[in-house]
Structure 1
């Protein structure tokens, strides 16, 4: 079972108070990147070999055991997402330690290239950065993401995604990060058509979202897989 160490997602007032305490007025800052033009946290094009062409069909799914944590500052979304991913591998680094490794500043964390670098450094696993460069994911890019999720989670390799904009989870809750954000991907079901998210800035904290929606959420940015 997933360990929740800070708050119960059902108590939405708690996160509202915490966000106010972090000095976020009107959510002008979206958990790690300044709202407005997406000049922070874009993933630069990365050559990562030929993409997989056929998603593996599975009836079931898999969830990794990880520790959920709310981000400790308004700009610590990448350290928080990376910490959640690393917790599934038994790695326990603080958000401050990870912020230093990620070169995180009050303007956020530059791109998924940084989360890839730190995941490789800390775990010794061969993480790579995958970019979805357009404003909307293509079918091939969505299929590749689905393949990457299934392969990584089956191999106990949690992922970190750099997202931007608004999407809606399977319970109908909207999650809006117009200035950019980072999330952990820690499980899948329905053959990889739905993925489990650890979100350090959400009232729900943990939720499921369709892979199609996640791909479009990542569009113009990238993910570490």
Structure 2
């Protein structure tokens, strides 16, 4: 769906890069020292609950999947999938009203963040922006950290994407007008994520994708995590 450019920043950590990410870092001219990107590892905006918290290497959440009923309800559908992980199952129509969804879609991840926090009864979610056309290595690592932290705490991540991306099977998924989807699991310390896609194109409602590909898919948009 159509989206405005997002603004927002929250939590940053340094995670051991995979071989693919090492190559991306090298291409960007960043050194990798001892398995980490050279530079300060700072938890920006981390809460006291994060101190000493260690996420498992893999985790998958149980959600109630429901496909979007029309071309512009991906925002409500993705938000609903995320909320069901904590036992909330509002209708997509109710969520569309709360998200201010129109035939042009849901404006931005700022809206999904607002509604996830409101109906979830917490302030866990923050909006993350990936403002440029391509994600930086730091933004890739930040998405990996945000996904592992959120999913480990039973909170799926809602991502606003645009364009095309290839999943772990080599299958391309394309949404030239923009789209919302939900990350409901991860493996390999968050280097690969499980996506629940409300579009359900050709019955393909669930697939795995590298964090690198997902970060680039969300470039110029962002996510609630």
CA separation in 2, counterparts of 1:87 and 1:53?
28
CA separation in 2, counterparts of 1:53 and 1:137?
16
Map Cα deviations across residues 110-136 of structure 1 (whole Å, 9 max, x no partner): 000000000010012321100000000
Unpaired runs of at least 5, structure 1: 1-32, 34-39
Query: Is 2:80 aligned against 1:83?
Result: yes
Alpha carbons 2:56, 2:152 under 8 Å: kept:
no
Query: Is 2:114 aligned against 1:93?
Result: no
Q: 3-state SS of the aligned residue for 2:223? A: strand
Q: 2:210 maps to what in 1?
A: 210
Please point out which of 44, 59, 62 is paired with 1:62: 59
Alpha carbons 2:161, 2:222 under 8 Å: kept:
yes
The runs of at least 4 consecutive aligned structure 1 residues that moved more than 6 Å come to 56-59
Cα distance, 1:59 vs. partner?
7.6
Equivalent residue runs for 1:174-189 within 5 Å? 174-189=172-187
Map Cα deviations across residues 176-218 of structure 1 (whole Å, 9 max, x no partner): 0010000001000011100000101133101100000000000
Q: 3-state SS of the aligned residue for 1:220? A: coil
Map Cα deviations across residues 137-184 of structure 1 (whole Å, 9 max, x no partner): 000000000000000010111110000000111112110001000000
Q: Which moved more, 1:177-186 or 1:58-67?
A: 58-67
Q: 1:224 maps to what in 2?
A: 224
Q: 3-state SS of the aligned residue for 2:214? A: helix
Q: TM-score, normalised by structure 2?
A: 0.79
CA RMSD, Structure 1 to Structure 2 (Å): 1.5
CA separation in 1, counterparts of 2:63 and 2:5?
25
Equivalent residue runs for 1:1-225 within 5 Å? 33=1, 40-46=2-8, 48-49=9-10, 51-55=11-15, 60-125=57-122, 126-201=124-199, 202-203=201-202, 204-225=204-225
